[in-house]
C-alpha cells in the first residue's frame, strides 16, 4: 500500500465531504511521499483526519479520484469484486438488463470507467489513468459476476478513444480486450430491434440513457405524424413507428447515422412508415415551417451544445433557437419532446430557455412530464457530473 499522504487546504474538499469523488488541484495543500501518476494515495483533511483513498494524476485538474472513504482500505481484487457485484445487483433491481450500462463511473464508486452491456458483449470506456490500471481486472470480475447469473460474455471491446483521456495525459485506445469477434450486435429495446456497431458507433455504440424516455414517447404517437430531429440511429423515430404512428420522418446531419437508421427501419418492418433523410436540422426546420408543414409530435434530441461551463451562454442561445424552431412545427394541441444532455445546462436553466423559446413564438406549454436518464445511469447527488440528461414532454397550445 502506497504511504503517500495528500493533505487538503483548510476549508477545501467541500464536494468530497458532501459525498463526491473528485479533488481538484487547487484544493491540495501538501503531498508527502513518493508516487507515480495513477497510484492510489491516502487523503487527509487539513487537520490530519483521514478522508479515504483515491488515485492521483498530476496531469489532470481533477488531481485525485476517490475510490473509498476508508483510509486503510486496500484497493485489491476483493474490493473491486464488491464494487462490481453491487453495480450489477443494482441493475437487476432497476432496469431491463438485456442491454444496459453496467458500470457508470463515479455513480458506481468506480471513478473514470464505463462499461456497457449489449446482449452478450461488453464495451469498456476508461477515462482516467488510475482506473486504466484496473480496467482488465474489472472486466474479468464483471464477466465472473454475470456468469453466476447464466450470462456468458462472448467478447469485450474497448472504446477508450474519447478526448477526455488527453487531459489525463494518456493515449486514446480502441480495440478488442481478448479475442476478436463480430462487432455488429443486434439488440432489442422496448420491442424495437437495432444493429449496434460497437467499434464505429458514437460513444460505446448506442445511447442507452434514453431507453425509458423513448418508451414514454410511444404512448403519444399512435395514429400521429411525427418528426424526429437529430435522429442518430433512428431510436425515437422507430419507437414512434412501433407505437403506430402513420408517418415518421427522422433527420440527421450524418449520412452514416441515416443509413443505420434506415437499416433499422427495415429490420423492424417499418420502412413504409418511418423514413430518414440527411440534413442539417437547424436549416431544415425553417424550411419545413416555410412550407407550412405541421406535426402531431416533434422530438428534439440534439448533441450537447456545451461541454464546458464557459460555453454555457452560447449553448443557451442554441437550445433556445432549436426549441423555437421546433415549436413552430407542432400542431395546436400536439406535443414537443425536448432534451439536453449537458450537465452544465441545469434543469432550471433548460426550463427557462424553453419558456423563452415558447414565448417568442406565442406558444403555451402544458408539461406532460419531466424525465432524466435511465436508472442504469444513476445520479449520485454529490457528483454533479453524473446528472446530465434533462427530458421534457409538453403539450403545445397556440395562444388564443
Q: How far are the Cα atoms of 73, 94, 154, 313, 390 from residue 329, in angstroms, in the given order?
A: 57, 36, 46, 26, 22
**Integer Cα distance of 7 and 49 in angstroms:** 9
**307 phi/psi in degrees, rounded to 5:** -120, 15
The residues, ordered by sequence, that sit 6+ positions from 10 with a Cβ below 8 Å of its Cβ are 29, 46
Report CA Rg, the chain.
23
Distance in angstroms (rounded) separating the CA atoms of residues 106 and 384 = 10
User: CA of 112: how far to CAs of 41, 93, 130, 305, 397, in Å?
Assistant: 16, 24, 8, 22, 44
Give the span between the Cα atoms of 342 and 303, in whole angstroms.
8
> What does the alpha-carbon distance between residue 39 and residue 55 come to, in Å, rounded to a whole number?
5
Q: Is 248 exposed, middle or buried (0-12, 13-18, 19+ CB in 10 A)?
A: buried
Catalytic residue list: 341
In this structure, the strands spanning 155-160 and 121-126 are: parallel
Per DSSP bridges, beta strands 247-252 and 5-8 are unpaired
SS (H, E, C) 53-76: EEEECCCCCEEEEEEECCCCCCCC
Amino acid at each position: 500500500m502506497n504511504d503517500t499522504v495528500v493533505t487538503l487546504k483548510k476549508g477545501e474538499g467541500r464536494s468530497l465531504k458532501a459525498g463526491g469523488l473528485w479533488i481538484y488541484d487547487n484544493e491540495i495543500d501538501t503531498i508527502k511521499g513518493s508516487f507515480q501518476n495513477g497510484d492510489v494515495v491516502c487523503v487527509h483533511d487539513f487537520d490530519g483526519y483521514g478522508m479515504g483513498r483515491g488515485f492521483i494524476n498530476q496531469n489532470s485538474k481533477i488531481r485525485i479520484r476517490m475510490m473509498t472513504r476508508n483510509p486503510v482500505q486496500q484497493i485489491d481484487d476483493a474490493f473491486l469484486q464488491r464494487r462490481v457485484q453491487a453495480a450489477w445487483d443494482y441493475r437487476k433491481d432497476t432496469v431491463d438488463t438485456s442491454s444496459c450500462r453496467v458500470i457508470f463511473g463515479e455513480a458506481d464508486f468506480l471513478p473514470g470507467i464505463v462499461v456497457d452491456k449489449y446482449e452478450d458483449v461488453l464495451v469498456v470506456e476508461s477515462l482516467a489513468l488510475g482506473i486504466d490500471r484496473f480496467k482488465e481486472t474489472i472486466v474479468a470480475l464483471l464477466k465472473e459476476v454475470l456468469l453466476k447469473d447464466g450470462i456468458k460474455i462472448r467478447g469485450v471491446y474497448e472504446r477508450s478513444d474519447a478526448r477526455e483521456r488527453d487531459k489525463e495525459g494518456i493515449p486514446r485506445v480502441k480495440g478488442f480486450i481478448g479475442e476478436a469477434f463480430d462487432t455488429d450486435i443486434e439488440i432489442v429495446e422496448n420491442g424495437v430491434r437495432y444493429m449496434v456497431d460497437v467499434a464505429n458507433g458514437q460513444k460505446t455504440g448506442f445511447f442507452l440513457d434514453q431507453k425509458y424516455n423513448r418508451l414514454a414517447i410511444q404512448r403519444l404517437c399512435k395514429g400521429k405524424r411525427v418528426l424526429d430531429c437529430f435522429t442518430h440511429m433512428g431510436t425515437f423515430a422507430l419507437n414512434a413507428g412501433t407505437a403506430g404512428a402513420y408517418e415518421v420522418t427522422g433527420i440527421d446531419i450524418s449520412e452514416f447515422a441515416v443509413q443505420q437508421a434506415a437499416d433499422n427501419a427495415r429490420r423492424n418492418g417499418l420502412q413504409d412508415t418511418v423514413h430518414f433523410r440527411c440534413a442539417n436540422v437547424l436549416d431544415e426546420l425553417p424550411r419545413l415551417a416555410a412550407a407550412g408543414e405541421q406535426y402531431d409530435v416533434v422530438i428534439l434530441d440534439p448533441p450537447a451544445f456545451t461541454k464546458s461551463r464557459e460555453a454555457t451562454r452560447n449553448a443557451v442561445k442554441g437550445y433556445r433557437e432549436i426549441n423555437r424552431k421546433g415549436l413552430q412545427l407542432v400542431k395546436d394541441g400536439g406535443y414537443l419532446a425536448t432534451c439536453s444532455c449537458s450537465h452544465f445546462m441545469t434543469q432550471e436553466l433548460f426550463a427557462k430557455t424553453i419558456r423563452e423559446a415558447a414565448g417568442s413564438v406565442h406558444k403555451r406549454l402544458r408539461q406532460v412530464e419531466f424525465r432524466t436518464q435511465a436508472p442504469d445511469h444513476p445520479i449520485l447527488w454529490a457528483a454533479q457530473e453524473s446528472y446530465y440528461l434533462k427530458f421534457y414532454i409538453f403539450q403545445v397550445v397556440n395562444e388564443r
